[in-house]
Amino acid sequence: MRILLVNGNTTSAMTETLVATARDAAAPGTEIAAATGAFGAAIVSHRAEEAIAGHAILKAIADHEGAYDGVLIGVSTDPALGAVRALLPVPVVGMTEAALLTACMLGARFGLITFSLASAPGYREAVERYGLASRLAGLRTIDIPLARAYAEREKLTEAIVEVADALIEADGAEVLILAGAAAAGLPAGLQPHVPVPLLDGIVCGVRLTEAMIRLGAPTPSRGSHAPPAANRYVGLDEATARLLRENAESPGRS
């Protein structure tokens, strides 16, 4: 099977890290292809940047050449997840959604570790959007700009372990999620220092995408994730407009 991993950030080095993490997590025979946002924020951390990233994700998918069996959105709080899921006739998974759902299968309550105060509200809203607010033990932030967190990953270990201990001992978290694309690959090295499961959204995302592909469930023809009706688009780049047109309602989607 072939999974398209879409980085809605514009940092190509981050895409390389995401792909390396994804390939380590993938089952034998799974191929990971990648696409990077062509415009928007270097590292998404604000509501306005998330809105731009949603468009960038659609365009990255539209520009990608070659077939794929599933899509994994690899950026912060899964911008455009619902839109892409409604457009494409293949399974679509968000990295944060995947980590949250996996956490619910590993413990009663989970904790989130985020970077930068600006990004924290978006994660709380994502938890609520997925209907999991009652399972959230706590959210704690290491207040460091995401760009710096990504550039100085090796210096974050002590700070992450300290915050993890607080979420476990003070907040009662039984599972922890190290949130965001900038943290991809870090949980594996930190796990020996944390006494509960520490989840990586990209790892969870790859494995859930593989499972969804194997499940083979049909895409819906009714409801909020059904394809859009045919429409006229103004001012869009041709690739994105074509993606919308080609995935509008048709008998083949039912």
Question: Helix 238-246 and helix 47-63: axis angle, to 10°?
Answer: 80
The model's pLDDT over 139-159, given as tens digits with 9 standing for 90+, comes to 999 877 656 666 666 667 788
pLDDT score recorded for residue 137: 98
Residue-by-residue DSSP string for 170-187: TT--SEEEE-SGGGTTHH
Cβ atoms of 81 and 92 within 8 Å: the answer is: yes
The model's pLDDT over 12-36, given as tens digits with 9 standing for 90+, comes to 999 999 999 999 999 999 999 999 9
| Pair 91, 214 in one domain | yes
Mean pLDDT for all residues in the chain? 91
| Pair 144, 82 in one domain | no
| Pair 61, 101 in one domain | no
The model's pLDDT over 213-237, given as tens digits with 9 standing for 90+, comes to 999 999 888 998 888 898 989 999 9
Angle at the Cα of 205 from the Cα atoms of 167 and 222, rounded to 5 degrees: 115
| Pair 140, 48 in one domain | no
Retrieve residue 20's tokens. Answer: 């390396």
**Model confidence band, residue 181 (pLDDT cutoffs 50, 70, 90):** confident
Q: How far apart are the first and last CA of the chain?
A: 22
| Pair 42, 71 in one domain | yes
Whole-Å CA distances, 195 to 108, 138, 164, 237? 15, 17, 9, 49
| Pair 86, 106 in one domain | no
| Pair 196, 238 in one domain | no
Q: How many domains does the chain have?
A: 2
Query: In terms of residue numbers, what domain contains 52?
Result: 2-95+206-253
| Pair 34, 65 in one domain | yes
**Model confidence band, residue 252 (pLDDT cutoffs 50, 70, 90):** very low
pLDDT score recorded for residue 146: 59
- CATH number, domain with residue 55: 3.40.50.12500
